[in-house]
Amino acid sequence: MMQPNPVPLYPVPPQAALPRNGLCTAALTTGLIGALLAIVPLLMVWASIPLGVLGLVFGLVGIGRVRRGQADRLGFAIAGLVLGVLALVLSTLWIAALAASTSTKPAASPTTAPVAAVAPATSSAAPTTTTATPTGPATSFGPGVHVVGTDILPGTYRTAGPTDGALPICYWAREKDTSGEFSSIIANDNAKGPTTVTIAATDGAFKTSGCQQWTKVN
Say yes or no: 93 and 126 in one domain. Answer: no
Residues 112-121: contacts with CB under 8 Å, at least 24 apart? 112/180, 114/167, 114/169, 114/171, 114/209, 114/210, 115/143, 115/144, 115/145, 115/207, 115/209, 117/209, 118/143, 118/144, 118/209, 118/210
**Which pLDDT score, from 0 to 100, does residue 90 have?**
83
> Does 14 have pLDDT greater than 80?
no
Containing structural domain, residue 199: 118-216
Q: pLDDT by residue (tens digit) across 25-75?
A: 887 788 788 777 777 765 566 677 788 788 888 888 888 888 888 888 888
Q: Report how many domains make up the chain.
A: 2
Residue 183 confidence class, pLDDT cut points 50, 70, 90? very high
Could you give the angle at the alpha carbon of 34 between the alpha carbons of 29 and 35, nearest 5°? Answer: 100
Q: Is 60 helix (H, G, I), strand (E, B) or coil?
A: helix
Residue 72: what pLDDT? 84
Residues 177, 199, single domain; the answer is: yes
Terminal C-alpha separation, the chain = 135
Question: Are residues 79 and 39 part of one domain?
Answer: yes
pLDDT, position 173: 96
Q: Is residue 10 part of a domain?
A: no
Same domain? 100 vs 169 = no
- Write down the pLDDT at residue 181: 92
Q: Are residues 186 and 209 in the same domain?
A: yes
- What letter represents residue 179's amino acid? S
pTM of the predicted model as reported, rounded to 2 decimal places: 0.39
In this model, does residue 170 exceed pLDDT 90?
yes
> Residues 97, 142: one domain?
no
Q: Within the chain, how many helices (H) and strands (E) appear?
A: 5, 8
User: Can you give the pLDDT at residue 133?
Assistant: 47
